[in-house]
Amino acid sequence: MELDPVLLSRIQFAFVISFHIIFPSFTIGLAAWLATIEGMRLATGKPIYRRVFDFWLKVFALSFGMGVVTGIVMAFQFGTNWSVLAERSGPIQGPLLGYEGFTAFMLEATFFGVMLLGRDRVPPWFYFFSCCMVSLGTMFSSFWILCNNSWMQVPLGHAVVDSKIVPEDWWAITTGPIVRVRWPHMLFAAFLTTGMSVIATGAWYVRRRIYYEEGRVMLHWGLGLVAVIIPVQLLFGHLTGGYVVKYQPSKIAAIEGRWHNEKPASEVLIAWPDVENRRNLFAITLPPPWGSMIDSGSTTAEEVGLDSIPPENWPPMRIPFFTFRIMVGMGVIILAVSWFGVWLRWRGRLETTQWYLWIAFLSFPTGFVAVLAGWFTAEVGRQPWVVYGLLRTQDAVTPSLTGGDVLFSLIAYIVVYAVIYSSGFYYIYRLLRDGPAVEVRAALPGPARATALRGAE
Amino acid sequence: MSAVEPSGLALFWAAVIAGAILVYVILDGFDLGVGILFGTTRDAALRDEMMGTISPFWDGNETWLVIVAASLFGAFPTVYAVFLPAFYIPALLLLLSLIFRGVAFEFRYGAGGRALWDWGFFLGSTIVAFVQGAAVGAMIRGIPLVNGQYAGGPFEWLRPLPVLTGIGLVLGYALLGAGWLTMKSQGVLRDWAWHRISRLAGSVLVVLGIAIIAAFIARARMTGNLFMDRPWGLVFPGLGLLAMAGVFIGVRERRDGMPFAMTVVFFIAAFLSLAVMFWPYMIPYSVTVASAAAPDKSLSFMFWGAGAFVLPVIAIYTAVVYWVFRGKLRKGYG
């Protein structure tokens, strides 16, 4: 069997980036959560906030480390496996990703150290300031990634000179209409991911009546934040869909399971797409003009179907179709869990409703699943393009690569990640299981993250 | 491949990358070296103390590798797109080793399976050193291109010359690490390190001597001749030899900081020798600084944020950390 370096490189990229994105989306939210809790401690002076803070700080340190080491792998993927992409669009993607590296590492080098080790060496206001800066830094870091990815989704502000794609207008690249909705969509996704993890941890403690006070703080704060953020996130999700309708007809047609042009269009809720015969089986469909209203905000608009797009420009249709529904489904679960929890709290029954605490605990992966499903929708839906309309994925791969090379590296990544991730998850699980310390410890000894974590053990 | 003379911005970023590589080699070099030496003893107390001498520094040191990669992709995408495919398997080994080695610092205390992480730390450090050295050897041989993309096989980096330079860099980093240990430790660990420096320095000289002969043989078959165009460049290998003499003097007189300082000078001399050999090429002997540079619009976009602001912050931060943790390791750095 001939091994296809393009397909294997795509699988490898999907593998390393899926494992990577778990950590940044968690740490972006955690950094904001830690800054919030530290701000509350500063405002109220209550020691409970300090205990909750110290607990999540340990989780943050470990997740940040895992995010950094898996992120370094990402920085090299463009060069090793996608060298034609790196060479042709490097003048645009290089500076954007370069800025991400610079931002992330400047952050790690400065305020992150204060956060881990500076508690007793700097004044409280400066400590809080450092927490805010770390949070700001993680958001900034994601900004550059979203700039870069939004440019790959809808290239703007560029020119093509001698087959190279060069920047014309950095302003359009960094503040274009697409990144303006996609960056907040990613940030809110990160906040929700962490929020659901905080809620689940709190529910776990409260249900078992261990670390009860800390658990309640996590549960109350997590529910409040998630309940407020989720409707905003649904709005930004809708706005993100708006750019897809406008610029990426092949992706929206795949997401909607729409085979033929319709005016006005119906809306497929769920179905099994039959790609061969260009139809949906077992479909549950809302009648027209629902599809037009959702996609274009109009009762009469025509919506494009896959029929009017050449099949060589179709994405692998079933993946975005289902991942999109998984993402939306997670959003609905998050909405239900958080709003119902807030209602229970309002009725004063939150801590005693055992079955709800179970559900809140079990819903901890909802945010992670939504983030992964959302990225799969965006990235697989963009195929067969790597830079939409400009460069096809199959033309972007490193020419000297053989299928054997990529198979070797893919297996190596899978083996190493299996070892690293199982140990890392076990370590984080142990931190969560052991719970917050009863007493606030003295300054963590040692300066490095490693030493800090060891001291915190 | 239009421009003949590199623009000022291109020169700035080339200088940043060269400087960052040199800083990286020296800084991560000593902690990789300590990782290599870590595997040569079974004494748990010595191992913990070795880890202790580098734990405040190692992740900051690796930052410089990311600066190299980020600047390269941003400023010289052509080089990035040729270099990484040419070193596909070494780059993979480098990344996986850096991951293993990096998490070992934390996991050996809390994730169970300590022997696994100790092995990972030693092997990871050694493999990182070897593939970096091998990359230098492969660059001296020259990297074949067709239409601006790498056109060689996946194992060019395992020819005799790259293997020699790979072993040379493992020994060189170990020497740097041993010098770091005599400078930063006391008692048993310092004596342990003193006993290894002369042998390491001797091995470095022998391996590099053979590698230089191999390099002349490899290059004689191609165009150009190492230093023949720029004989003044021979100053730098000369400086390297003097620095090595300094290492031996440091050992004889037991001056704690001297082997490290002299090894650093040796590395600088070696780096400058290579720079003289390669200039104006970034990918020997086909891609020049001028032909690889991104358009000035990209370079200036990077300059005003990363060049003028982030780089100075990282440089100052690095200096402050080394100042705060100066002197000998006592009970941890606490």
Domains of chain B: 12-295 (1.20.1630.10)
How much is the pLDDT for A35? 94
CA dist B50 and B189 (Å) reads 8
Nearest C-alpha neighbor of B266 from the set B274, B256, B255: B274
Q: Rounded to 5 degrees, what are φ and ψ at A100?
A: -60, -45
What secondary structure letter does DSSP report for B306?
A: I
The pLDDT of residue B144 is 86
- Retrieve residue B189's tokens: 């660990």
Phi then psi for B150, rounded to 5 degrees?
-60, 135
- pLDDT of res. A386: 94
Average pLDDT (B1-10) is 72
Please give the torsion angle defined by the CA atoms of residues B12, B14, B17 and B20, in that order, rounded to the nearest 10 degrees: -60
Closest listed residue to residue A135, CA positions, set A51, A60, A30:
A30
pLDDT at B63 over 50: yes
Pick from B67, B85, B100: which is nearest to A398 by CB?
Answer: B85
Give the phi and the psi of residue B172 in degrees, each rounded to 5.
-65, -45
- pLDDT category, B221, cuts 50, 70, 90? low
Confidence bin at B284 (pLDDT 50/70/90): confident
Please state the rounded mean pLDDT for residues B275-293: 85
CB count, 10 Å around CB of A181?
A: 20
Whether the pLDDT of residue B210 is over 80: the answer is yes
Are A24 and A69 a contacting pair, CB within 8 Å?
no
Q: How confident is the model at residue B330 (pLDDT cuts 50, 70, 90)?
A: low
Q: Does B81 touch chain A (CB under 8 A)?
A: yes
pLDDT of residue A263: 85
Q: Smallest Cβ distance to A69: which of B63, B81, B102?
A: B102
Residue-level pLDDT at B245? 95
CA separation for the pair B277, B274 (Å, rounded): 5
Model confidence at B333, in pLDDT bands (50, 70, 90)?
A: very low
How far apart are the CA of A197 and the nearest CA of chain B, in angstroms? 21
Q: What are the tens digits of pLDDT across the range B117-141?
A: 899 999 999 999 999 999 999 988 8
Contacts of A453 in chain B (CB under 8 A): 106, 109-110
Q: What's the ipTM?
A: 0.84
Q: Which of residues 48-67 of B touch A (CB under 8 A)?
A: 55-60, 63, 65-67
- Residue-level pLDDT at A436: 83
**Residue numbers of chain A with a pLDDT score lower than 50:** 439-457
Measured CA to CA, the distance from residue B96 to residue A394 in angstroms comes to 26
Burial environment of residue B39 by CB neighbours within 10 A (0 to 12, 13 to 18, 19 or more): middle
| C-alpha–C-alpha distance, residues A34 and A127, integer Å | 11
**Numbers of helices and strands, H then E, in chain A:** 16, 6
d(CA B136, CA A121): 44
pLDDT in tens, A134-170: 899 889 889 999 999 999 999 999 899 888 888 988 9
What is residue B110's predicted lDDT score, i.e. its pLDDT?
Answer: 66
What's residue B62's pLDDT? 82
Residue B126 and residue A422: Cα distance in Å, rounded? 24
The whole-number pLDDT of residue B103 equals 83
- Of all residues in chain B, the one with the smallest CA distance to A66 is B103
